[in-house]
Amino acid sequence: MDQKQKETLRFLLKARKRAQKVLAEREKARQEKLNNEARKEANRRLMEQYAQGLLALAQQSGSFTLAEQAALEREGRLIQQLGCYVDYGLSTSCMQRALVAAEQGDQGELRAAYLSLRIVWGPPEAPQEAEIRVHQGKYITFHHLPVPIFPFIWRLNPQLIPKMLAGALASPRPCSDRVKKDG
């Protein structure tokens, strides 16, 4: 084998290594994209499942029906929004989250926090809203009162939620920008 053939062979071997490296990087990127899409789909299914469970709780307490009626009476709309968070396990400190994410990738689990029922009404330039939150812990809160209403309270006193909703509707807050854009 002469010198020119050796150089050609060396060049071809280097080109083959580069091609294998590029193909491996492309395969890794494709696999990450597939994993990301699978995680998004799993999170979407979890969010639907959580929303159905919290909506059933809202219907059981009567707050969903009352919110629909209040929206119809005010010629407004009822907006449902699920609030979620990512649970990283026993310790969710920032330092551990950064270390876990760096070592193993994002391994947290999506959890539901609450289902927000927002009654939005009023003129488009200055809409108002009243908010009911049905929490995963089965208690209910209103935007105007920080005290939660636990299940044993709203089961023993069924007229309490309509009174609380009337109070929330009597003291509405300005509509958030996100709701204005969605409407």
- Read off the pTM: 0.72
Give the angle subtended at the CA of 182 by the CAs of 174 and 63, to the nearest 5°: 65
Query: pLDDT digits over 105-156, tens only?
Result: 556 788 889 999 999 998 888 899 999 999 999 999 998 888 899 999 988 9
Of 183 and 7, the structure prediction assigns the larger pLDDT to 7
The confidence score (pLDDT) of residue 92 equals 52
Percentage of the chain lying above the pLDDT 70 cut: 86
Residue type, 159: Q
- The ranges assigned to domains in the chain are 3-182
Closest C-alpha to 112, from 139, 86, 78: 86
CB 58 within 8 A of CB 103: no
Nearest 10 degrees: CA dihedral of 117, 122, 125, 127?
A: -30
Give the Å distances, CA to CA, from 92 to 32, 52, 101, 108: 25, 27, 12, 10
- Joined together, the tokens standing for residue 64 give 């969903």
Confidence of residue 175 (pLDDT cuts 50, 70, 90): confident
Query: pLDDT digits over 68-114, tens only?
Result: 999 999 999 999 999 988 877 665 555 555 555 544 455 678 888 99
Closest C-alpha to 165, from 51, 50, 55, 74: 74
Distance CA 65, CA 59 (A): 7
